[in-house]
A and B are shown apart, each in its own frame.
Chain A
Amino acid sequence: MGGIRTRALRVTATVAVAAALALSALLIGATSAGARADDPPSVIGLSISDSRSELQKWNKAVVIAYVPPLESLPAGVDPSSVVVARSEWVNQVVTAAALRPLFRLTLGSRIPDLSGLTRDQAADAIETRGLKFSVSSDPGKPDAVVESQNPQPQSIVEFGLGVTVALAADDEGGVSTTTTTTVMLIAAGSGLGLALLILLGVLTARRVGRRRRTPTVPESIEVKAYHGQLIGPELTEPGPGTTFAGGDQRSSVSVRLEPHYDPGTFTLEEGRR
């Protein structure tokens, strides 16, 4: 019963990690899409032979320096398990001067999935990859197996890095505190990533909407008219000898009529009796 619950938790944790990786890929996708066609290929995670092949496909004159040198790999390391952990184009700036491109490839291993392995099996898997094995918790029972590990499986790391595991007995009937905490942290991280993505989307949408919006329309427009200054009317009369275009130069002429009332003359004659 406990085994089923543990397996379910592992599946949950894997899904959560995959979701987080997918979100990260979405965030940085635009940057990756901008890579130029003549850029060297990424060889991180490739084997020694594959990385050499890829780089030579890009440029036949490429010079590759391995760190550590191939003849000085850590003791007990199977060369077939070695992968490129870091790649550096050393003379990129002066390549234009027709020098041969020089790459420094730092070697390492891909972390195996240790879950379900016993302490000895896990230690062997780690040490044959040139890594250091350590245990964070051990119930002290012979049937204890790896419950969790750090770094996570499939991580690519350089030689010498420490890998820590937590062991738990199969009959403990529950999940160790470390495992629970790890799962919770991963879930919380994924949730936080999702929330950030949503927030980013909302902010971008608001910004775009703000750009498209027309300037604020004034709600109240009033036009007030004033008669302003009045000059005139001015009267201009032509002086002697001056005239307007098309006009004459006569002076004004006035004719006044003044009727006077005449009551008339009356004569009164009286007859004699």
Chain B
Amino acid sequence: MSQITVRAVLFGDGDPDGAISRTPGWRGVVDRIGDALPAVSAGGRQIVEREMTSALSGLLGLDVGDILVGGWRRHRALVAAAHATRANPTATEVVQLATHRITTAHRPYVDIIVNGGKVATVHFDLGLTVDLDGVLGTVRQARLVAIQDGRCTITAGLGCEGLEIASRQAVIDPSLTVRVGKGIAILDEERKPSVA
């Protein structure tokens, strides 16, 4: 089971740096950065652009599976199943999750430092909306031990300083997205770093 990142959702499996730099919105961002760096030479601006692309690509390495799990820890049916199975080691509860939506917003930013002095800060906006339908979760001993079926539609949007850089929608199989392992703790008090 491979990890699915926001970067992969937005730009596919190809070279993310090249994909970012080819977007029309990125050109506008680079032009604005150039305006903010009047003392930097053309060669220096190319370095800034390259480093910015690389830094942004790194910021998009969020795991979609982690985002889903973060949302599910707040799902009432799953939380109830976790409480119901915690006290009974033999109990297993299968929950068919109603249609639900998980959203996140990230505000990463990049500082540009020239000759030791910060000359600009570039802010990004990353929005992620995940619509899930028909997912079956199996809970045992307050842990989510299996994910089955269902449909997961991810809509991701990336912007910078008011300019849209990329936007894309993808449909994935949630059972292939979330790495369950030995079970994912649903309740906060049950969470242990070694599990999941």
Contacts and interface: CB of A to CB of B under 8 A. Distances in A.
The interface size bin for chain B is 35 or more
A254 B100 contact: no
A247 interface: yes
Given A218-B39, A219-B115, A223-B55, A230 B96 contact: no
A248 B47 CA distance: 50
B182 interface: no
A246 B110 CA distance: 37
11 contacts: A214-B42, A217-B41, A218-B114, A221-B44, A222-B51, A223-B55, A225-B59, A230-B106, A235-B75, A238-B98, A256-B84
Interface string B10-40: 0000000000000000000000000000011
Given A221-B51, A238-B98, A247-B99, A256 B92 contact: yes
B75 A231 contact: no
Interface string B85-124: 1001011111111111111111111111111100000011
B52 interface: yes
Contact of A223 (B48, B92, B103, B123): B48
A261 B100 CA distance: 37
Shortest 9 CB-CB contacts between residues of A and residues of B? A247-B99, A232-B104, A252-B77, A225-B55, A223-B51, A256-B93, A231-B105, A229-B107, A217-B41
Nearest to A242: B99
B114 A234 contact: no
Interface of A: 214-238, 243-260
B95 A235 contact: no
Interface residues of chain B: helix, strand, loop or mixed (majority): mixed
Contacts of B95: 252-255
Contacts of B84: 256
Contacts of B56: 225
A236 B115 contact: no
B94 A224 contact: no
B176 interface: no
Contacts of B9: none
A46 to B, nearest CB: 59
Contacts of A238: 98-100
A218 B41 contact: yes
B41 A228 contact: no
B113 A222 contact: yes
A211 to B, nearest CB: 16
B118 to A, nearest CB: 9
B105 A224 contact: no
A230 B101 contact: no
A233 B130 CA distance: 10
B51 A218 contact: no
A257 B93 contact: yes
Contacts of A251: 98
Contacts of B116: 220
Contacts of B108: 225-228
B110 to A, nearest CB: 5
B81 interface: yes
B193 interface: no
B133 interface: yes
Contacts of B104: 230-234
B67 interface: yes
Interface string B54-81: 1110110000000110111011110011
Contacts of A246: 131, 133, 153
B181 interface: no
B43 interface: yes
Contacts of B91: 256-259
A223 B112 contact: yes
A234 B113 contact: no
A19 B1 CA distance: 91
Nearest to A222: B113
Given A216-B41, A219-B115, A257-B94, 8 more contacts: A226-B111, A229-B107, A233-B67, A237-B75, A246-B133, A252-B77, A252-B97, A254-B77
Contacts of B94: 254-257
Given A218-B39, A220-B114, A252-B97, A247 B77 contact: no
Contacts of A245: 131
